[in-house]
Amino acid sequence: RVSNMVSQFADSDAAKAMVENGDPLLYEFYGLDLPEDDAGVLQFGTTILYPGKVGDEYFMTKGHFHTILDTSEIYYCLKGKGMMLMETPEGDVDCKELNPGDAIFVPGRWAHRSINIGNEPLIMFFVYRADAGHDYGTIEEKGYRKIVVEKDGKPVMLDNPKWAEK
């Protein structure tokens, strides 16, 4: 929900107002109950990211690095229109569009956040090595270097005013 990510949206005041006004669901995700300590297992599932904006910024997932940094992931877009915003610890940034039928390879070392830039739920299939682990803390503390906002009806990538090099 928005309440779980208030500080991660550039416009925290808009986020707080939305929390007061029903605290909308941003996304949900589903996977099987597979062992999380087995490098031989592939975890897979579905993410459903709802359409909407906080201020001008599109609804997005928290985003994370994998704890075993060098583990990759594949996303496949089933429905909707989105973007996968990625960055490395060194500061390389990449953003790929997601339309139904597109597969995206998120290489090891790249943090990944999905963003819904359309008007319907963005539904994605994902698969990754089950023991990869999830590091949310780095993104929570520092934020992403870039944000994706709507400008003149189109998505544009801007520097994140909240990003801090720590």
Binding site for ligand F6R (CB under 6 A): 29, 47, 61-64, 73, 112, 114, 126, 128, 134
Partner interacting with residue 47 (select from Zn ion, ligand F6R, none; CB below 5-8 Å by kind): ligand F6R
Question: Is 11 an interacting residue with respect to Zn ion (CB under 5 A)?
Answer: no
Cα distances (Å, whole numbers) of residue 127 to 13, 54, 115, 132, 133 = 35, 28, 18, 11, 13
Pick one of ligand F6R, Zn ion, none as the site partner of residue 62 (Cβ within 5 to 8 A by kind): ligand F6R
Kindly state the helix (H) or strand (E) to which residue 139 belongs, with its residue range: helix 137-142
Sites for Zn ion among residues 37-76 (CB under 5 A): 73
DSSP conformational letter for 2: G
For the record, the structure tokens of 95 come out as 């953003």
Q: Which lies closer to Zn ion via its Cβ, residue 57 or residue 73? A: 73
Handedness of CA 113, 9, 30, 38 (dihedral sign): positive
72-111: contacts with Zn ion (CB under 5 A): 73
Q: Give the Cβ contact number of residue 6 at 10 Å.
A: 18
**Chosen from Zn ion, ligand F6R, none, partner binding at 129 (C-beta under 5 to 8 Å by type):** none
- Which CB atom, from 104 or from 148, has the smaller least distance to Zn ion? 104
Task: Give the side-chain half-sphere CA count within 13 A for 93.
Answer: 13
Q: Minimum Å distance from CB 57 to Zn ion?
A: 21
Site of interaction with Zn ion (CB under 5 A): 73
